[in-house]
Structure 1
Amino acid sequence: MKVAVVGCTHAGTAAILNIKALYKDADVTVYERNDNISFLSCGIALNVAGVVPDAQKLFYSSPAALAELGVCTKMQTEVLAIDIASKKLKAKDLKTGKEFEDTFDKLIITTGSWPIVPKFEGGDLENILLSKNYDHSKTIIAKAKDAKNVVVIGAGYIGVELAEAFEMLGKNTTLIDAVPRIMNKYLDQYYTDKAEETFKAHGVNLALGQKVVKFEGAKGKVSKVVTDKDSYEADLVVLCIGFRPNTDLVKGQLDMLPNGAIIIDEYMQTSVKDVFAAGDSCVVSYNPTDEERYIPLATNAVRMGMLVARNLVGPKLKYLGTQGTSGIKIYDLNIASTGLTEEGAKAAGIDAGCVQVTDNDRAEFMPTFEPATITLVFDKKTRRVLGGQIISDKDLTQYMNTLSVVIQNKMTVEELAVVDFFFQPHFNKPWSLLNTVAIAALDK
């Protein structure tokens, strides 16, 4: 069995490691444009801030480790074309410039995603950077040393984390987004308000509800970011606007969403036999709305990569879908969410209910206890739990992992209200926070 894997970050690495564990005799070749694999890009901000000073620790595998398993590792090799029907591909060794062809029995597309880069006037000026891979991380750190004014464009998780990192480095930091709230896709306004207050308290300039119009520069380097409402001095700009599937190689050969995300079934199989896809290159089954969505997350990628291996020679293990569960730490705030926000549920056409409860994490007779705010979103008609969020100074984010299972199993508010959770004064109260918020929703 000759297996070609195109792309090797999270999904590709997971697929390869599991294939070699299950099928030791499989002939596996991986094609990767970079000279590294498995870089945890979610750690870039930690590296920039110096929390994780050694970027090498953000790798959990290597080309050498794959080679030891018997994998043919073609690093710094770009796949130029794939002919799925004839099971052939054409590639180029970026070190030598030599082009060559290869064949495969099974094809695994784990080409990931790439940052969205709108065409701004002045977009080719120096010191306008992306934040996606290891090389980007190194460049950001090097450029930030001499930068005084840093502008981050895009207030999703990556942009927010970078804004915090630059402020921690003592930079004059501005965070710009076209929408009026940071992290609006993940959190309702109560939570984003708390996060924004924290940023302002640390001196981060929030320029929200503003669209970038152009960049201005001097001597070929960026010096100013101009929006439709204001302008901001900038020695360094990092674009964190979003991501798109990197699937141009197989466009027209596989079924895709309009944005290029490859459509797969519950066994990671694409619309063509023997061709699989995983990670940021493809869709996921989003359980809260029972539809296919594009949600690029490392957790989805490693899970899907493992499933490719399990289903490579036949359908065996189903993908259970995702709730898009995520968490973030902003200074002293610990925030997590899963499933739909109230705003997201209404945008999806759901008659959603929402309750919010603030309670202490454990019994008040204990020497210490911490307040936490938790939100539950549910379908008013079916009573099905659709999502939730939590925020506290103490790390209570694991509640959202539990709630993710609740959503995946299509539990109702009534079931969550009385589900069995342990009680021990060192850790919690007789009623879990999840019980408490569900009880509050019973009469809604």
Structure 2
Amino acid sequence: MSLEGKATPYTEDAKDPVKDEQEVFAESQNQDFHYRTLSWQFVALLMIAEIVSNGMLSLPSALAVVGIAPAVILIVFLGIFGLYTAKLLIDFKLNHPSVHNMGDAGYILGGPIVREILSLGTIIFAIFGTGSELLSGQQALSALSDNGLCAIDLLLIFSGASFLLALPRTLGNISWLGILSVALIFVAGIVGMAGAGANPVPGRQIDAALSSNFYQAFVAITNPVFAYAGHFMFFILISEMRQPQDAMKAAWCLQGFATVFYVVFAVVVYAYIGSTVQSPAFLSLPPKWAKASFGIALGNFLIAGALYSHTAAKLVFVRFFRGTHHMYSHSILGWVAWTALCFVAVTIAFILAVSVPIFSYLIGIAASLFASWYTYGIAGFFFLYDTYHLKGGREGLRTRPIGTILAIFTILAGAFICVAGTYVSIRLIVDAYNQGIVGKPFTC
């Protein structure tokens, strides 16, 4: 289809660009939009901005439940595991350049039904991720203003800013925000650790290891597990790289930075605050230090929320306008559709955040159902599929026993995290209602 063609319905009967194994974005000099402009350095920054944002703030509380040693071992293991699954995702993308998102990958693995399930899951998780960042932004603004405005008003202000930042059509046009976002979350973490060190809790309890039941332990484990939950947007980021072959360099930077920073931040904050540390950790700091930390991190929450909503909008936009001139030119239909998609993504996240009192718990369910597979489990299927279809069928699997065993372990790990995480999240909701700590919708 030429770039000047009209938008056509995306049907299974039509010639499918995913099956054609062509690059997602065509590039020519006369286009208004050039998508494939990202370097691996900027991809790494965008990955860090999106993943590390809220991840680090929940980790000190995990140490308070299971102790320093088990939590640190788990954080490091998951960092290495996340690097391994990132490699499997990147290899699959390089073998199938037409893949733009998890839905496209699902179509290759299992046809149209799997495509729709994984596409819908990506959109849902991205919208819930947006909502999580909106709530973090609202908490930061509330701390900075001493609750001077209604929480809903603060959430609305933050949502409007997130919508505006999500509007650029290409990731290359917002890639510079990655530098700012990473700098902000890094400095915020340093300030948070300094605040904890300058104000240690007297008589605090610090444990190298703690015993707990499965429920308590897995509640704590979900924090580091989902602190790496950003693989769902890897395909979308890699599709806009100039050299997709360099994507593994970005993954190394992401996992290296995240793992080291997570461990240092979690251990330092827990060492000075002890077992009473809250989640997010900045709430455990004295007011002045909390304001300073939240104020610095505010920009990161904003940029991460914009990236999540951009991801949801981009999946739908590419799905319907792929191969048409609306993707590459300043057409009215293209801009109206893109603006509407970004607006809808942020609006749904805002409505969920203000109208569903248990929204923070639902984020855990969404992470359990989708991030467990996108970050961990599905990577095993990618390896098995490509090894079978591209490297000799069953013989290819037989001659790669280590890779095959690791792939099966990855699938089983994703399934376990999905089931156990969902169970824990549902039980947390039940406990919250039993304890009467669930608020009311649309309240300040």
TM value normalised by structure 1: 0.22
Q: Which TM-score applies when normalising by structure 2? A: 0.22
Higher helix share: 2
- Bigger radius of gyration, 1 or 2? 1
Higher relative contact order, structure no. (Cα contacts within 8 Å, ≥ 6 residues apart)? 2
Q: Which has the higher strand share?
A: 1
